[in-house]
């Protein structure tokens, strides 16, 4: 059996920022307090949009994340954002070995939880 060279001599692994972005958005999307919101263009429904992230690589091991998301209403915003941060940091660490250095969240909407929100009917 051939012996492998030392890890430092084998090469390096580069992870594209688009991959980091997908990991962050998926982690945020799976948090219980986040919701998708309806997208509209000129008043026409264009489906839904989930969390959206912007990634800035600070070093080979650290990244900054700017995240836009919609949260459930009513609910504790600070606790929800803290949970999202923990999920994002854990997933990044587990999947890529990167640490979350900076984390900025912009809550662009609050959406009523369907389980507790009022039942409304739509005209068709």
Strand-pair partners of 69: 107
Q: Can you tell me whether residue 60 is helix, strand or coil?
A: coil
Q: What is the dihedral of CA 72, 75, 77, 80, to 10 degrees?
A: -70
Average pLDDT, the chain: 86
- Bridge partner residues of 67 (DSSP): 53, 105
**Residue 117 above 50 pLDDT?**
no
pLDDT of residue 95: 95
Q: How far is CA 70 from the centre of its chain?
A: 11
Is residue 84 classed as helix, strand or coil in its secondary structure?
helix
Question: Token pair of 17, please?
Answer: 């920022």
Q: What letter does residue 89 receive in the DSSP assignment? A: H
> Cis bond leading into 47, ω under 30°?
no
For residue 10, CA distances in Å to 3, 6, 7, 16, 120 come to 12, 7, 5, 19, 60
* Per-residue model confidence as pLDDT tens digits over 11-68: 777 899 999 999 999 999 999 999 988 777 777 777 778 899 999 998 889 999 999 9
Instruction: Please tell me the distance from the alpha carbon of residue 107 to that of residue 51, in angstroms, as a whole number.
Output: 10
């Amino acid at each position: 059996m051939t012996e492998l060279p030392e890890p430092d001599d084998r090469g390096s692994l580069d992870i594209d920022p688009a991959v980091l972005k997908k990991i962050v958005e998926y982690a945020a999307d799976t948090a219980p307090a986040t919701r998708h919101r309806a997208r509209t263009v000129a008043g026409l429904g264009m489906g839904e949009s989930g969390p959206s992230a912007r990634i800035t690589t600070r070093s080979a091991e650290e990244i900054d994340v700017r995240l836009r998301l919609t949260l459930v209403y009513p609910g504790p915003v600070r606790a929800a954002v803290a949970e999202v941060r923990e999920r994002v940091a854990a997933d990044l660490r587990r999947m890529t070995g990167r640490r979350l250095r900076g984390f900025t969240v912009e809550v662009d909407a609050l959406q009523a939880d369907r389980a507790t929100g009022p039942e409304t009917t739509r005209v068709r």
